[in-house]
Amino acid sequence: MRIENKRLKTIIITYVILYCVVVIAEVIPRLKDSMFAIQEVIKIGVVSDEIDRIETTLFYALGENKLLKNELHNATAEGSYSQRVSEIIAALGSLQRKSSLEHLSVKPLDEYTNNELLILPFELSLQGSYKQIYEFIGYFERSKYTVLATKIQIQPVDAGSTILHANLYFDLYMNL
Amino acid sequence: MANQLKHHFLRLSGIKRIIYIDIGTYEIRISIVRKKSCFEVLETKVVPADTNAEDLKNTIEKMVDVSGRRKTGVIVSVYNYMVHTVSIPVEESDIDEWLWENTPELFPYKGSENDYSVIFQEFARDEDAKYYDVVISRKKDIEYIESLISDTGCVYSAIIPTELTVLTMNSLDIDRNILFIRINKHEVRYAFMDVTKKVIKGELLIPASDENASQELFNDMLTDILDHIKTEYGNNLNLDIQIIIDNNSSISTGENGIDGFLKGRSSLHGIHSFDIVKNTRSVATSLAEFVYKHYDRIVDLQSETYARVVRKKLEEKIVLRGVLFTAFVMLSLLVAMEIIENYYRHHMEVNKQELVDINSTRGLIASLEDENLLLRRNLSAIQDVKYNRMPISYVMNKIPEYLPATSWSTGILIERKKEDGLLIEINGVAPGQNYIADILQRMESDSLLQTTDLIFANAMPQRELNRIYNINRNNYIRYHITAKYHAY
């Protein structure tokens, strides 16, 4: 099949040239862009296959975090420093009433940290019978707070007296 | 590929229907042939041969509407032509001129060279001469047909010499002599083509006869035709012939007619090998298909000027269709690529965001794992404090067990030291040495105590004892005992 009409031949040649220009200027760059986009999607698609695994890991990490925080929350005092001190004093007051101690003074000492735990030392002065002091310490050690009695000095108020004066040193463990 | 394109020239120009006009001596047959998977006749109309041009045009227009005609080609099949085999010197280039000057017998009608339409086709050549099948028709007839086609508004046209085209069509597939016999109502037209493409054409009138005499008539007719051919070839005639019969007459083709005549014959008028083919498909469909497929190979009687116009129309149609098609393809391609690109770009953006999310999630996981590690350490420290330390209250509970009822303590110190463990210091007063020994024994018997040391045990002066405790007795002893627990 040959086109014999010269005018038509010219039209065809012009059209073919235009067509080629469109292909070169428009189709090929678009094709390249499309190929790039497809490649990227495939490449990123491979990475996104990890989403499930990552989400599972995150789920477990969050769960563990919550669990650990709950456990720490249950075992330690939380809140601001003043909140904690006043809370401890209130708790000590309650324990004092419970153990019928006559006198109690509380003196917070300089706190220090161990890992992320804040350790708040207290010095308590109190008076009472040996039993009362024993019970007070027992209550305190068994309380919801993590406290460690580090030192206790007991001596009678007067020679021969059954009323004892005790100096107690406690470390109160708090979560930062 | 080039051949395929050539063969699809008409298809590319969008021609799907052919109006086949068979102009016979007594009648004109007009058939609409449609090209689908194969060619089929949609409709046929027969009008008398003397129908004027206007009526003929009206008939065609009734069969195909205006829009349909733009996609329709016209093939006019004519019989009113002559075929001669001519040898022309090899060096001769102007065949028309040479024919007019050297073979005046080919142009029987009076008039000038311009009164004839001459088509010639070379079929053989040797050292001295070229051999041509020359088809001669009257220009006036051709121009009349061209004007008729032009008026119909159809795109493509061809004016074909019927017998010659049928022979050419059949000679494409086989390599043997072919005899085409067309039996019309009043005459028989025949044409013979040998393997070199040399053509002999003739016609016979059919005498009026009884229909029952079909076999006899056919036999006589065949004898006359073969005699004519043998006259041309003499003894050189190859008698291996394929005979094609197109019967449009009242001669029966059944058992009482041609079929019955041919049945069981192993030879026919001296032809030792013959093969009768009755056109199972109509000549219209066969010729339409042949012209459609072999557009550039047919003998077309159209004038050069008119053929050029037709060709131009076809080319314009093909170019227009080609431009539209390729533009459509390009547009579709661009739209498809735009959609694909947008689709994947959107996915790419989403995926990039996912990647950012994944990375931030990874960061979150890392920080959570760090935090969890710290929390575990803290919790471990808390649990160590809570469960692994000996409570001082426990020690305070044990101390009264160490001291006999008659001794008393003047001071107790319990201190937790990380290096040494839990230290106990007991200061007290006992009524005798044996009580001290008792205290030490009690303390040593406690398995939790690691060491027990008596630091001092001094006698307490009676005066001091009396002053402090209001006890007026001797032998009271002041003691100081230290002990250490295993546990911290």
Q: How confident is the model at residue B213 (pLDDT cuts 50, 70, 90)?
A: low
Q: Which of the residue ranges B113-117, B400-404, B447-451 would you say has the lowest mean pLDDT?
A: B113-117
* Element at B260 (helix H, strand E): helix B258-262
Q: Tell me how far apart the alpha carbons of residues B428 and B304 are, in angstroms, rounded to a whole number.
A: 147
Q: How far is CA B209 from CA B26, B205, B252, B295, B308, in A?
A: 18, 12, 12, 41, 47
Q: Select the residue of A4, A26, A153 nearest B334 (Cβ to Cβ).
A: A26
Interface touch A48/B319, C-beta < 8 Å: no
In the stretch 80-119 of chain A, residues with CB closer than 8 A to chain B read: 114-117
Domain boundary, last residue among A74, A89, A112: A74
Average pLDDT, chain B: 82
Number of H helices, E strands in chain B: 14, 17
Q: Average pLDDT, stretch A55-76?
A: 86
What percentage of chain A exceeds 90 in pLDDT? 15
Q: Are residues A95 and A54 in the same domain?
A: no
Using left for φ > 0, alpha for ψ between -120 and 50, and beta otherwise, residue A100 falls in: left
Residue B433 lies in a domain: yes
Q: Are residues B373 and B469 in the same domain?
A: no
Q: Are residues B280 and B371 in the same domain?
A: no
Q: Tell me how far apart the alpha carbons of residues B375 and B391 are, in angstroms, rounded to a whole number.
A: 24
Residue A1 lies in a domain: no
Residue B307 lies in a domain: no
DSSP state of B106: G
Domain boundary, last residue among B358, B388, B418: B388
Count interface pairs A-B at CB distance under 8 A: 184
Q: How far is A29 from chain B (nearest CA, A)?
A: 10
Instruction: Write the pLDDT tens digit of every residue in B366-394.
Output: 999 999 998 888 888 888 888 888 888 88
Number of H helices, E strands in chain A: 5, 5
Interface touch A30/B337, C-beta < 8 Å: yes
Q: Are residues B80 and B174 in the same domain?
A: yes
Which residue on chain B is closest to A146 by alpha carbon? B386
Q: Average pLDDT, stretch B73-91?
A: 86
Q: How confident is the model at residue A48 (pLDDT cuts 50, 70, 90)?
A: low
Is residue B5 predicted with pLDDT exceeding 60? no
Q: Which of the residue ranges A82-96, B82-96, B251-265, B405-419 would you say has the lowest mean pLDDT?
A: B251-265
Q: Are residues A20 and A66 in the same domain?
A: yes
Q: Tell me how far apart the alpha carbons of residues B244 and B159 are, in angstroms, rounded to a whole number.
A: 22
Q: Tell me how far apart the alpha carbons of residues B52 and B147 are, in angstroms, rounded to a whole number.
A: 13
Residue A56 lies in a domain: yes
Is residue B248 predicted with pLDDT exceeding 80? no
Which of B472, B383, B480, B392 is closest to B436 using CA atoms? B480
Classify strands B82-89 and B129-138 as parallel, antiparallel or unpaired: antiparallel
Domain boundary, last residue among A74, A102, A123: A74
Which residue on chain B is closest to A23 by alpha carbon? B330
How many residues make up chain B in this entry?
Answer: 488
Helix axes B433-444, B392-402, angle to 10 degrees: 140
In the stretch 271-290 of chain B, residues with CB closer than 8 A to chain A read: none
Residue B107 lies in a domain: yes
Q: Are residues B219 and B253 in the same domain?
A: yes
Residue A165 lies in a domain: yes
Q: Tell me how far apart the alpha carbons of residues B114 and B134 are, in angstroms, rounded to a whole number.
A: 16
Which residue on chain B is closest to A150 by alpha carbon? B416
Q: Are residues A141 and A169 in the same domain?
A: yes
Instruction: Write the pLDDT tens digit of every residue in B106-138.
Output: 777 666 777 888 888 887 888 888 988 888 888
Number of neighbouring beta carbons within 10 Å of residue A59: 11
Give bridge partners of residue B135 from the DSSP assignment: B83, B119
Contacts of B171 (CB under 8 A, 6+ apart): B178, B193, B197
Classify burial at A14, counting beta carbons within 10 Å of its beta carbon; exposed 0-12, middle 13-18, buried 19 or more: exposed
Q: Are residues A85 and A159 in the same domain?
A: yes
**Could you tell me the residue range of the domain that residue A42 belongs to?**
6-74
Which of A68, A67, A88 is closest to A77 using CA atoms? A88
Q: Are residues B421 and B433 in the same domain?
A: yes
- Where are the extended beta strands (E) located within B79-186? 82-89, 116-125, 129-138, 156-161, 177-183
Q: Tell me how far apart the alpha carbons of residues B397 and A141 are, in angstroms, rounded to a whole number.
A: 13
Q: Tell me how far apart the alpha carbons of residues B318 and B11 are, in angstroms, rounded to a whole number.
A: 9
What percentage of chain B exceeds 70 in pLDDT? 91
In A49-175, alpha helices (H) = 51-75, 81-99, 130-141
Q: Are residues A117 and A43 in the same domain?
A: no
Classify strands B72-78 and B17-23 as parallel, antiparallel or unpaired: parallel
Instruction: Write the pLDDT tens digit of every residue in B319-370.
Output: 888 889 989 999 998 898 888 888 888 887 887 787 788 888 889 999 999 9
Number of neighbouring beta carbons within 10 Å of residue B172: 11
CATH of the domain at B406: 3.30.70
Q: Are residues A85 and A161 in the same domain?
A: yes
Q: Are residues B296 and B226 in the same domain?
A: yes
Q: Select the residue of B378, B391, B469 nearest A160 (Cβ to Cβ).
A: B469
The complex scores an ipTM of 0.72
Number of neighbouring beta carbons within 10 Å of residue B285: 20
Q: Tell me how far apart the alpha carbons of residues B235 and B92 are, in angstroms, rounded to a whole number.
A: 31
- The pairs formed by B352-358 with CB atoms below 8 angstroms and a separation of 24 or more are B352/A44, B354/A44, B354/A48, B354/A51, B355/A44, B355/A47, B355/A48, B358/A47, B358/A48, B358/A50, B358/A51, B358/A54
Average pLDDT, chain A: 82
| Tally of domains in chain B | 3
Residue B319 lies in a domain: no
Contacts of B148 (CB under 8 A, 6+ apart): B53, B56, B57
CATH of the domain at A162: 3.30.70.60
Q: Is B370 helix (H, G, I), strand (E, B) or coil?
A: helix
Residue A47 lies in a domain: yes
Q: Are residues A86 and A134 in the same domain?
A: yes
Q: Are residues B13 and B93 in the same domain?
A: yes
Domain boundary, last residue among A41, A74, A107: A74
Classify burial at B201, counting beta carbons within 10 Å of its beta carbon; exposed 0-12, middle 13-18, buried 19 or more: buried
Q: Are residues A69 and A85 in the same domain?
A: no
The whole-number pLDDT of residue B2 equals 35
Q: Are residues A101 and A67 in the same domain?
A: no
Q: Tell me how far apart the alpha carbons of residues B323 and B321 are, in angstroms, rounded to a whole number.
A: 5
Domain boundary, last residue among B366, B388, B410: B388
Residue A86 lies in a domain: yes
Q: How confident is the model at residue B3 (pLDDT cuts 50, 70, 90)?
A: very low
Residue B201 lies in a domain: yes
Two structure tokens written together for B51: 């129908």
The whole-number pLDDT of residue B6 equals 46
Residue B16 lies in a domain: yes
Which residue on chain A is closest to B417 by alpha carbon? A150
CATH of the domain at B60: 3.30.420.380
Residue B419 lies in a domain: yes
Interface touch A54/B397, C-beta < 8 Å: no
Q: Are residues B71 and B212 in the same domain?
A: yes
Two structure tokens written together for B267: 């030879």
* Element at B442 (helix H, strand E): helix B433-444
| Tally of domains in chain A | 2
Q: Are residues A115 and A60 in the same domain?
A: no
Q: Are residues B242 and B264 in the same domain?
A: yes
Q: Is A82 helix (H, G, I), strand (E, B) or coil?
A: helix
Domain boundary, last residue among B355, B373, B388: B388
Contacts of A101 (CB under 8 A, 6+ apart): A126, A127, A128, A132, A133, A136
**Cα angle vertex A173, ends A101, A125, to 5°?**
25
DSSP state of B268: B
Q: Average pLDDT, stretch A25-51?
A: 79
Q: Are residues B107 and B243 in the same domain?
A: yes
Q: Average pLDDT, stretch B68-82?
A: 83
Q: Are residues B219 and B328 in the same domain?
A: no
Q: Are B73 and B156 in contact (CB under 8 A)?
A: yes
Q: Are residues B406 and B374 in the same domain?
A: no
Q: How far is B347 from chain A (nearest CA, A)?
A: 6
Q: How far is B393 from chain A (nearest CA, A)?
A: 5
DSSP state of B207: P
What's the predicted TM-score (pTM) here?
0.57
**B312 contact residues in A (CB cutoff 8 A):** 4-5, 8
**Could you tell me the residue range of the domain that residue B428 belongs to?**
392-485
Classify burial at B393, counting beta carbons within 10 Å of its beta carbon; exposed 0-12, middle 13-18, buried 19 or more: buried
Q: Average pLDDT, stretch B427-434?
A: 88
